[in-house]
Structure 1
């Protein structure tokens, strides 16, 4: 694999993560438990979609002039490179916020390293996105602590959410030849090198939330290389892509 090919895959991974999670979070619009959460989740989704435009926009340039919209709306499920965790349905508010926290923890650390990327374009995107993600992490951490250390029911729901999502965490730190090529070029860190910092951050917050991290080290995988996605991604893409598929080339 050439460096250019690896770079494209890296950009798709970053952009697809924020695209799919942004869509998932946007599903709460008009349905959140209280108005403040409805607005906050909508803003989080908008931030993630904005980051997607930057990552996929750059990917399109690298791939020969495609637009971010082309990559978002005209690819099939097996062409997506997001981690599996962002695909899973929202379920209840607790699972949504636990997923957001786990992703934010990884995302904030990754962007912190990418600010120092040897590629100026990547560094610029990371610098802008990191400011938004710092807020995302602060909010999701506070919510996890508030619910985890809240009532008996909120505690139980957050523990159930953590138990369900933890097997998806490991994929964020899986490394392959694409990651090795990016690390060699100084463009991005090796994901495995982020795990210790992630664990320290997560353990601190979850301890305050009185939640117990599962002991299992099993990790779902397959999303980052497109070899395997959950059954949920296809349904999500059906909703997200139907207008462009029904009316090719349509624009506002």
Structure 2
């Protein structure tokens, strides 16, 4: 390798993604269409990226703890998919929010109050049942949202959504299969699933009332309807009650979209960001 090539590779090092990676939006026109509010677009991309990053970090906690090696690998791969989505969305945010920040700046050098992820993503995984139900809910909602965003007026976001839809469809299928398996399994597995549904139902309204992408054609009512419909289909197949049938309005005063988070996000970010913050000039 020539000195010039080596220098170029060193310039491209990143804490989050290692070395040798090209610009994730390489070859795409970064210009924001005149019909799109750039500030609102940046806020949308940032929020969706934060959802993905925080969800991926929670899934990473199952490494060495999953009930079977196959499930450990599956959850890790789902987490990697979400990291990839976060990378693309952070890259888009940095192009349009006026800061010029890179992916690592968003992931590693913001405090909890600056994150805009939904609260459900940051809750600790109490057991495998809770993780499966949360994955089912988040992937079902995110899939419904991203399917709508494939026709977003911003072509870059539309392309990111189109790529992500394929991954999210697998995430939802994986969670749905486990939901049916555990719901129709032993008495204990069913009880754990029902307990997970009851606790997660409290946080569902934040998703169903989310207006983050409304200005980009993702009407909250339409996304909520598709989310409810698909969740109902899975839960009926699993023989599980629908704990949120009568929920229409948010049950919680704050919202992660506004930076109002639970006490669980700060410790999660401390673990995620510790090495990068301890060695801010390092590269690998």
Q: TM-score range by the shorter chain?
A: over 0.9
Under a length normalisation based on structure 1, what TM-score does the superposition of the two structures give? 0.93
Q: Which segment is superposed worse, 214-223 or 203-212?
A: 214-223
Tell me if the contact between 1:105 and 1:137 (Cα under 8 Å) persists in the aligned partners. Answer: yes
Alpha-carbon distance, 1:140 to partner: 0.5
Deviation at 1:234, TM superposition (A): 0.3
Q: Who is 1:26 aligned against?
A: 60
Alignment partner, residue 258 of structure 2: 225
**Equivalent residue, structure 1, for 2:233:** 204
Count of residue pairs the alignment pairs up: 244
Residue number in structure 2 paired with 1:130 = 165
Aligned residue in 1 for 2:130: 95
**How much is the aligned-residue C-alpha RMSD, in angstroms?**
1.5
Give CA-to-partner distance per residue, 1:51-79, whole Å, 9 cap, x none. 10001111111123110111010011111
Flag structure 1 segments of 5+ consecutive residues without an equivalent: none
Distance 2:38 2:281 in 1: 28
Equivalent residues of 1:17, 1:82 under 8 A apart? yes
The corresponding residue for 2:224 is 195
TM-score by structure 2 length? 0.83
Offset, 1:27: 0.8
Larger Rg over CA atoms: 2
Tell me if structure 1 keeps the 8 A contact 2:55–2:79.
yes
Please report how far the alpha carbon of residue 103 of structure 1 lies from its aligned counterpart in structure 2 after TM superposition: 0.5
Q: How big is each residue's C-alpha offset from its partner over 1:57-111, in whole Å with a ceiling of 9 and x where there is no partner?
A: 1111112311011101001111101000000001100000100000011011111
* 1:192, distance to aligned residue in structure 2 (A): 3.0
Higher deviation after alignment, 242-251 or 87-96:
242-251
1:175–1:192 Cα contact (<8 Å) kept: no
Whether contact under 8 Å (2:38, 2:97) holds in the other structure is no
**1:8 to partner: Cα distance:** 1.2
Equivalents in 2 of 1:78, 1:191: separation in Å? 24
